[in-house]
Every structure is written in C-alpha cells, then in structure tokens.
Structure 1
C-alpha cells in the first residue's frame, strides 16, 4: 500500500481494504469466542455440569476480556503495539485447543481464560486499526468492524447445531484452522499498522479527527459515561440471556430440539449483526444519541412479551429485538471515543470491555437464577431489563455539542 493511500485516512478518505480486513479478523476472533457458548448444550449433556458451572465458564471468558481490554487500550494509547494482534490470536488458538482436548472442568476454565486474554488484546488494537482506516467515515468503519464480531458471535448456534452436536467436544478442533487463518491475516494487518504509525505520527498530531463531543466539561463527560455504561449494562445482560440460555427456554416451552432451538438463537444474532452494521451509517446521518434511543425504545414492548409469545410469532419478535437492540452496539463505542477523543484505545477497551464484563456477570447471575427458580421465571425477569435503557434520554446531544 502506497504512502498516499495510507495518508489518505488522515485527510478524510477511508482505507477500505484495511477497514474490511480488520472486520474479517474480528469475525474470526469472535467466532472462536462463540465456540464457548456453543459448547454449553454439549458440555451439559456429556459432563453433567450445572447451569451455574456453565455460567462460570462464560464468566471467565468475558471477565478476563473485560478486565484486560481497558488495560491493553491504555497501553496502546501510550505506545501502540501493532504485532499484539497476531499474538492475541495465538493465545486464542491455545484456548481452542484446550476446549477440544481437555475434559477436566478446571482445564476447560483455563482454556476459556486463554480465549479471554486473546480477545482482550484483539479488541482495543482492532478498534484502533478501524479508527485509523476510517478517515471521515467513523460510524461506517466502526460498524464494519463490529459487524464482523457480531457475525462471528452469530455463528455460535450454527457451530453448536452442525459441528459440536454431531461431533461432540472434539469438534472444537476444527476451529484451530480459523485461529490459524486469523494469525496470518492479523500479521498482514500489523505490517500496515506499523507503517501507518510511522507515517501518520506527525499528521495525526496536526489534524485531530475526533472533536464532536470534546468540548464537554469533565463533569459532563463523567455523567455521560455513567449513563452510557448503564445502557451497555442492560443491553449486555439481555443479550447474554438470549445467546447463552434462551435455548433452554425454547426446548422447555416449545418442545424444540437443541438443533432447532439453536437456529432461533442464530436468527437473533444474525439480525443483530445486520443492526450493528446499519447503526453506524445511520448515526452518521441522524446522530449517535438518536440511534441509541431508537435501539432502546423500539424493541422494548417485544422484549417484555417475548417469554409468552407463540411459536408462530417468535421469529418476528426475535428479528425485531435482535436488529434494534444491537443497532447501538458500534454507536456506543464511537460515542465513548468522542467523549474522550485523545484516548481511542482506552475508551474502546472501556466500552467494549465493560460490555464483556457485564456479559460475564450476567452469565453467572442468570445461570444461578435458572438453577434456583427455573427457566420461565428467569426469562420473565430478564424481559424487564431493556426498560433501563430509557435513561438514554439523559445523554448529551452529540450533534449540538461542538
């Protein structure tokens, strides 16, 4: 790639090949993470572990990713590490190998910790690459990046239905190929990343890109971040309940097989990936706060009635909820970055890491509730979570603060 092409992102022209490649890499990374929840039905049937233990596996994966993401982002803001990207994918490869070949519960726990560490390294660095390639298309670039990850997560039920259910735990070994492809792709991206840093160092100092929310006072920034984190908390808890445990509601309430139930989870995640993609470009046109509110208000009545709906209406409810609740996923990341424009990696790690952390806590809490009060009661409680997102009305209007 020529110097002119690399410099064009600073001047406002997006670097689409890199934008696409980092999105594909995000897909590969999150596909590996998706193996963990995809294994839940198999692990429960083959090992007899409890819902709570499954919750702890999800907790370990997401909490490690949550805790380390802001740390990696902070380090990256001070001194970017281009080759951290393939190194992180190597850790994920180790984790997948453990999931495929280890049968002891504690070794499985260690394996998901490796996956969490790999994810923690990838996400802030990947978001930085997305930002560097974005030029003036921050919303679009972040959407391409995040939709890659959400698409990878959407593969979890298909992985369960068509790989792990037929082949069992050993079927996870197929994803060593995915990890290897990821290492190769990220190595190539790292070369561009390093050159971009060398060429853009002075240009980025003279041409700051993020500015739309930078005139807020520190108190208002902190206030906005608290509101944003509460919205992410509600969304993460709710999405975790659907992706990790709604399959048990489907088998209990409608008598579906695990394979057929997983197809509904795939539908939720697939339309969520579509929503993630459109969220960024829509925010570029109507503003980030408006997209966040749209993401909260539209799915709310459908989420409240989801546990009670008929099998006929279920796909419609899942499509509406999945699309709109994920519409704000990339938007909240960009919003956080614009709140603190000189800390791109830190804010990316903070917002996405917080989402991972809340997903981790949610998995344990929801798993515990399932063991104690049953599936239907738990899903009923969870249906009220999106109500919390209404506090999005209190966010600063991003297009009026400049």
Structure 2
C-alpha cells in the first residue's frame, strides 16, 4: 500500500476511504462549473452595458477601451501571485471572498455617478475574478480523477456559458430600464457566495487528507529540458495573445460593429453577441476531451488556426452571414484554452495554481490591453477597420508547429 501511495499521491485528494482511487468527482466539477458560470455571467455584464454607459457618460471608444483595460488588468495582475501563494498555502474559502469583491463592485456599478466611479467599480469586479480563477482551476484539477482536459473543459464550460447569458440578461434587464438595474445581479453574487462556501468545505477536507499523507505530486508527463519548457511557455503565451486579441475584438466591440455597419438596435446587438458567446460555450467542452484522447498540441493547432478562414470572411459579409460566421468562430476558438492550460500544467507538474494564475492572468491582461488599443484604432479610423486587421490574428496559430509533443502516462 505504501508503494502505491508514493506513486500516485495526488489521488489522495479524491476520495477519503480509498486513497489511491482516481475516480472523477463529478458533483464537485459541476458545482465548480456552476460557480464559474455565475462568476463570468456577472463579469460579462460589464461589456454588455457599454452601449448604455457610452451614451450616459458620453464616452469615446478609447474610454470604453479604458474600462475594459481596467477590468482586465485588475483581473489579471493578481492571478499569478494568488496561484503561487495558494500552491503553498491553499485557501478553501478564498473563492467566496473573491465573490464578495464582485458583489461590492456590482453595487457600486449600479450607482456610479461618474466615469471615475465606473472605473473603480469594474476594478472591484476584476479583483474578485483574479481571486476566483487560480484556486477554482486547482479544485477542478483535484476533482478530475486524472481526466484533466475533460475537467478543465467542464470548468470552462460554466464560465463561457455564463459569459454568453450575461449580455442576454443585460438586454432584458439593464438596456430597457437603465444602469441602476445592475443591482438585481447582486442576488446572483450572493447565490455564488453560498455555493462557494460549500465547495470550500469539500476542499478543506481534501487538504486535511493531503496533510495526513504528505508526498510530492506525481508527474504524468515526460520530462523536458528546461530550455524546451521555457520555449514552449513562450509559444503558448503568444497563442493566448492571438486568441484573446481576436476574442476581445468580438466581446468588446461586436455590438458597436453590427450597430454601426448594419443599423441594428442595441437590444438586437446584444442578441447577436449572445449567439457568438453561446457558440463559445458550446465549443468549450470539445477541446479538453479531444486533448486527452489525441494530444493537446493538435487541438491547440486546430482551434486557433482553424478560425482563420472564417475571421478573414467576416469583415466582408452582410448581417446574416456575419451572424452565421460568428458561430464556427466561437465554437472553434473555444476549444483552445482548456488544451493550452492543461498542456501548461503538464509542463509544470505540481504548480497548478501558479500556472493557472499565469495563463488566466495573461489572457485577461491581453484582452484588456487589446481592447484599449483597438478602441484607439476605432476612434482614429473606424470600427470596421478594427475587424479587418483582427481577421489575421488567428494565422499566428501556425507557430503551434514548434510545440513539442508531450506524451502522458496514466
């Protein structure tokens, strides 16, 4: 028995009565996914209300980009440090605390009388996100039973589905009745806090089991030279850059694009954004399991480079085909992140929190910087020009060819 425990100590976290069990804990994965859904639904309210606050505060596109930059930087800078700290000292109830920041940010956002208070409000929501993602990703890893790609896909599915319904809820509740109605979304934050406290109780029990049976987490990936690992991480970060610059062009400016180019109403534009974001949610579940079965590299390659034919056509399409093209763009693009994240986990066994924080943080940071830059470009040129230049971003996926093939052993 002692030999088995030494070989697979990470399985101690999965089941109290049978330390070497590697059974996937689906109730916990589903609960974490639901909490991710609530977290990201609340975050997605921010870009969904841009047309409202742009008119209310007479904002330029550059100022809209600054809101996204503030949100994304506050959601990104802390994440690697949160992950590094919780790798050493796990915090079972930190997710509930992070959701508390989001709750306060939403209350401020609903009452913001000025652009400065608006910036402060989105920063609070961003801080809540930075606390949430690294530790939630670790919980998904812990409950995976070895099916790490599948677990990350379930976790991401909740987040992406939440992101998709946020604009729809905003179109129904905020756009017709005004900014003050954001306060109603605080009920979702309270619900998430209750759920996260219960998940934290499960996590705390697993930490106690691990403390009683200490051991170094086993690696399931082949050992790579340090230079190869560093080079691989750089490639992954460039791919994240490509994915999230294009993604932020859609999430931040897609409503303005269809309003300006096709003359649709604000509410209709939110429905079109929902279609795109829902396609992302639908595609999320694909990447992880395919990566488990066929290899992460091939999924990463197909999910970023595969978007290029559709992104190149998008600026030249009419309204009908614009909406249709966003569906394969969302589905294909969505499968990338889970595969990239688990690939990075396999490069750094035992550093799930730090790696998750780094990649979530970098993704959010790139989205924020990209939004600010694209907003400035839109002000100087046009919103249509933004989509013409962003159409080429998925071609960066060609560099996936330089990633090593990581062979895992179960």
- In structure 2, the residue matched to 1:74 is 84
Give how far 1:129 is off.
0.7
> 2:39, 2:189 within 8 Å by CA — same for their partners in 1?
yes
SS at match of 1:216: coil
What TM-score, normalized to structure 1?
0.95
* Deviation by residue 1:281-313 (Cα, 9 ceiling, x = unmatched): 111111100100110232211101101112232
Whether 2:313 is the aligned partner of 1:305: answer: yes
- In structure 1, the residue matched to 2:221 is 212
- In structure 1, the residue matched to 2:46 is 36
Give how far 1:331 is off.
1.2
Alpha-carbon distance in 2 for matches of 1:6, 1:274? 34
* Deviation by residue 1:88-131 (Cα, 9 ceiling, x = unmatched): 11011000001101121111111111111110000001011111
Whether 2:184 is the aligned partner of 1:164: answer: no
- Distance 1:130-1:376 versus aligned 2 partners, 3 A rule: same
Alpha-carbon distance in 2 for matches of 1:119, 1:204? 30
Structure 1 segments, 4+ long, off by >3 Å, are 3-10, 201-204
Match of 2:198 among 179, 188, 191: 188
Listed as ranges, the matches of 1:184-333 within 5 Å are 184-201=194-211, 203=213, 205=215, 208-213=217-222, 215-333=223-341
Unaligned runs of 5+ in 1: none
- In structure 2, the residue matched to 1:11 is 21
> 1:68, 1:120 within 8 Å by CA — same for their partners in 2?
yes
* Deviation by residue 1:46-71 (Cα, 9 ceiling, x = unmatched): 22111111111111111111100000
- In structure 1, the residue matched to 2:8 is none
Give how far 1:329 is off.
1.4
- In structure 2, the residue matched to 1:134 is 144
- In structure 1, the residue matched to 2:72 is 62
SS at match of 2:319: coil
- In structure 2, the residue matched to 1:100 is 110
* Deviation by residue 1:25-84 (Cα, 9 ceiling, x = unmatched): 011111111111011010012221111111111111111111000000000011111111
> 2:72, 2:126 within 8 Å by CA — same for their partners in 1?
yes
Listed as ranges, the matches of 1:104-115 within 5 Å are 104-115=114-125
Unaligned runs of 5+ in 2: 1-12
Q: CA RMSD in A?
A: 1.7
SS at match of 1:398: coil
The more displaced of 231-240 and 388-397 is: 388-397
Alpha-carbon distance in 2 for matches of 1:210, 1:29? 31
Give how far 1:276 is off.
1.1
Match of 2:398 among 378, 390, 394: 390
- In structure 2, the residue matched to 1:359 is 367
- In structure 2, the residue matched to 1:125 is 135
Aligned pair count reads 398
Give how far 1:202 is off.
5.2
- Distance 1:97-1:137 versus aligned 2 partners, 3 A rule: same
- Distance 1:385-1:7 versus aligned 2 partners, 3 A rule: farther
> 1:37, 1:156 within 8 Å by CA — same for their partners in 2?
no
Give how far 1:21 is off.
0.3
- Distance 1:5-1:343 versus aligned 2 partners, 3 A rule: closer
Alpha-carbon distance in 2 for matches of 1:288, 1:4? 24
Alpha-carbon distance in 2 for matches of 1:265, 1:204? 48
- Distance 1:93-1:296 versus aligned 2 partners, 3 A rule: same
Give how far 1:203 is off.
4.7
- Distance 1:194-1:216 versus aligned 2 partners, 3 A rule: same
- Distance 1:85-1:344 versus aligned 2 partners, 3 A rule: same
- Distance 1:6-1:247 versus aligned 2 partners, 3 A rule: farther
What TM-score, normalized to structure 2?
0.93
> 1:9, 1:15 within 8 Å by CA — same for their partners in 2?
no
SS at match of 2:264: coil
> 1:63, 1:357 within 8 Å by CA — same for their partners in 2?
yes
Alpha-carbon distance in 1 for matches of 2:347, 2:78? 21
> 2:14, 2:25 within 8 Å by CA — same for their partners in 1?
no
